[in-house]
């Protein structure tokens, strides 16, 4: 039974059957064709048996393994590798079908190639998940045929496995490496000019050509009889909280990812960068209720803890409760902190309903409200109008975009910092804002 399940007919087999059938039919009219048909059928049966013997004479002749990362990175290209080896002493043709998770909906995943004796082959492909959660891989299906191409032997190799998909840790590592090598400008991070000396005192050292003469310490200079200057460092240990709205407005998808996933990926990058800058990173996720909270700390293990919390966040359908957010921050965040609030206001009226609570947060903390441009509406307004309906749609779209600019202006009246951004540029714009506020000594 196992033998039958693993045996498949090659497409070439059917063409031979059709040819034999045609010759047999002709045999009714011309006896010579009947003899040819019998001879052909005998040769075919012998070749079929020989082909089966070639493929089945070696047990477990083909080996394959799938090499995957421990976890997938949401919204990024994740590399998967399949390694194939065989023990046949002739060249084989292989059709490979990997059972990838159903979330990708790839129904044409098939690699065909030939493999010479004593060689191995690595198949590399990439998968781009667009949602967090569990991704289940099945077995690796390999169909092997010989040079006769009459039958195929099926191998079911590898083990079914589950790989979790986490927020974009690849993006986090990219920005981490760029920050360590001072190459953040490669990603569009602006160099912010530092204003004044809003920094902590570090040490007194000897003057070096090029130092700012305004940092000269005259008392130390008099004692040492040589010019000494004060050295400063960035203020450290400032709490930076990422506050994520998990309400229904964050469920909107752009370029395959929901707004919530964009906010989650950016929160992870901001938290990691804050810890690299010797600040403290914290997290607060809310909707109708406060889902999760992580107190701000500066340990390296904090990023892993935040990642685990973000992995389980989902949007829900009720409106977010900003009154509860205000009371929770009042109770949860004791010291003055930078609050990066990721939300989405579609209209000026929806923002004004929450304005009293935003003002309350801005009174005790440095609040940055981050919300999104509707990139699809923006693209629609750029198209030329060719009918009255197009004019109507374009006008409504421009009104929506104008409302977003009014929200920025209205929040600015109350000293609330804002970021209005396309979803794709969220990480860069948020990092720019964080570095700008830090350079200005506001945190």
- Please count the other Cβ atoms lying within 10 Å of the Cβ belonging to residue 141: 17
d(Cα 333, Cα 37) in Å, to the nearest integer? 89
Tens digit of each residue's pLDDT (9 = 90 or more) over 285-296: 999 999 889 999
d(Cα 395, Cα 295) in Å, to the nearest integer? 45
pLDDT, position 341:
95
d(Cα 214, Cα 217) in Å, to the nearest integer? 9
d(Cα 338, Cα 367) in Å, to the nearest integer? 6
DSSP string, 163-227: EEEES-HHHHHHHHHHHHTT-GGGGT---PPPPTT-SEEEEEEE--TT--GGGB-HHHHHHHTS-
Contact 110, 60 (CB under 8 A): no
- Please count the other Cβ atoms lying within 10 Å of the Cβ belonging to residue 187: 15
Res 310 pLDDT > 50? yes
Tens digit of each residue's pLDDT (9 = 90 or more) over 86-101: 999 889 999 999 999 9
First and final C-alpha spacing in the chain: 72
Please, which pLDDT band fits residue 278 given cuts at 50, 70 and 90? confident
d(Cα 250, Cα 243) in Å, to the nearest integer? 13
Which of 104, 257, 101 is CA-nearest to residue 168?
257
- Please count the other Cβ atoms lying within 10 Å of the Cβ belonging to residue 378: 15
Phi, psi at residue 124, to the nearest 5°?
Answer: -115, 130
Range of lowest pLDDT (66-75, 195-204, 263-272, 415-424): 195-204
Phi, psi at residue 399, to the nearest 5°?
Answer: -65, -40
Scored b (16 or more CB within 10 A) or e, 319-355 reads: ebbbeebbebbeebbeeebbbbbbbbbbebeebeebb
pLDDT, position 392:
85
- What's this model's pTM, rounded to 2 decimal places? 0.78
d(Cα 362, Cα 366) in Å, to the nearest integer? 6
pLDDT, position 352:
92
d(Cα 327, Cα 422) in Å, to the nearest integer? 30
Tens digit of each residue's pLDDT (9 = 90 or more) over 346-399: 888 989 999 999 999 999 999 999 999 887 787 788 888 888 888 888 888 888
Share of the chain above pLDDT 90, in %: 38
pLDDT, position 195:
44
Tell me how many degrees the CA angle 203-205-209 measures, rounded to the nearest 5. Answer: 130
Q: Is the dihedral of CA 423, 426, 428, 429 positive or negative?
A: positive
Residue that is written with structure tokens 């600019």 in the block: 405
Distances in Å between the Cα of 40 and the Cα atoms of 24, 145, 263, 266, 337 are 10, 22, 68, 69, 86
Tens digit of each residue's pLDDT (9 = 90 or more) over 20-44: 666 666 656 666 656 666 677 777 7
d(Cα 374, Cα 395) in Å, to the nearest integer? 15
Contact 276, 180 (CB under 8 A): yes
pLDDT, position 189:
52
Contact 252, 258 (CB under 8 A): yes
Share of the chain above pLDDT 70, in %: 84
- Please count the other Cβ atoms lying within 10 Å of the Cβ belonging to residue 170: 18
- Span 182-210, mean pLDDT? 60
pLDDT, position 218:
87
């Amino acid at each position: 039974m196992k033998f039958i399940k693993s045996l498949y007919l090659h497409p070439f087999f059917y063409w031979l059957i059709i040819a034999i059938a045609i010759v047999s039919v002709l045999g009714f009219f011309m006896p010579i064709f009947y003899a040819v048909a019998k001879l052909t059928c005998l040769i075919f049966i012998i070749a079929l048996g020989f082909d089966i013997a070639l493929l089945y004479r070696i047990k477990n002749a083909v080996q394959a393994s799938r090499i995957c990362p421990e976890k997938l990175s949401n919204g990024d290209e994740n590399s998967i590798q399949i390694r194939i080896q065989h023990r046949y002493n002739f060249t084989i043709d292989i059709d490979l079908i990997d059972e990838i998770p159903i979330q990708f909906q790839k129904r044409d995943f098939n690699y065909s190639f030939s493999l010479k004796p004593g060689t191995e082959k690595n198949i590399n492909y990439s998968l781009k998940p667009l949602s967090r959660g569990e991704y289940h891989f099945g077995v690796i299906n390999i169909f092997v045929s010989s040079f006769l191409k009459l039958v195929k032997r099926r191998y079911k190799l590898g083990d079914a496995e589950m790989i979790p998909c986490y927020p974009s840790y690849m993006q986090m590592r990219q920005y981490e490496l760029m920050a360590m090598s001072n190459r953040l400008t490669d990603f569009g991070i602006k160099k912010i000019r530092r204003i004044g000396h809003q920094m902590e005192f570090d040490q007194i050292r000897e003057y070096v050509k090029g130092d700012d003469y305004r940092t000269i310490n005259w008392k130390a200079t008099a004692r040492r009889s040589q010019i000494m200057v004060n050295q400063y460092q960035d203020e450290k240990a400032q709490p930076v909280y990422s506050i994520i709205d998990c309400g229904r407005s964050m469920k909107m998808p752009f370029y395959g990812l929901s707004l919530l996933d964009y906010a989650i990926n950016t929160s992870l990058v901001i938290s990691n960068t804050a810890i690299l800058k010797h600040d403290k990173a914290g997290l607060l996720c809310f909707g109708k209720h406060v889902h999760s909270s992580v107190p701000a700390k500066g340990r390296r293990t904090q990023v892993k803890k935040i990642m685990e919390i973000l992995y389980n966040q989902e949007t829900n359908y009720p409106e977010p409760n900003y009154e509860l957010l205000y009371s929770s921050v009042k109770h949860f965040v004791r010291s003055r902190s930078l609050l990066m609030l990721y939300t989405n206001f579609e209209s000026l009226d929806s923002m004004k309903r929450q304005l009293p609570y935003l003002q309350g947060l801005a009174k005790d903390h440095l609040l940055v409200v981050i919300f999104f441009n509707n990139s699809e509406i923006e693209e629609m307004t750029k198209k030329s109008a060719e009918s009255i309906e197009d004019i109507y749609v374009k006008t409504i779209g421009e009104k929506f975009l104008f409302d977003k600019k009014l929200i920025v202006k209205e929040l600015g009246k109350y000293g609330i910092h804002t970021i209005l951004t396309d979803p794709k540029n969220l990480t860069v714009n948020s990092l720019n804002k964080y570095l700008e506020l830090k350079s200005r000594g506001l945190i």
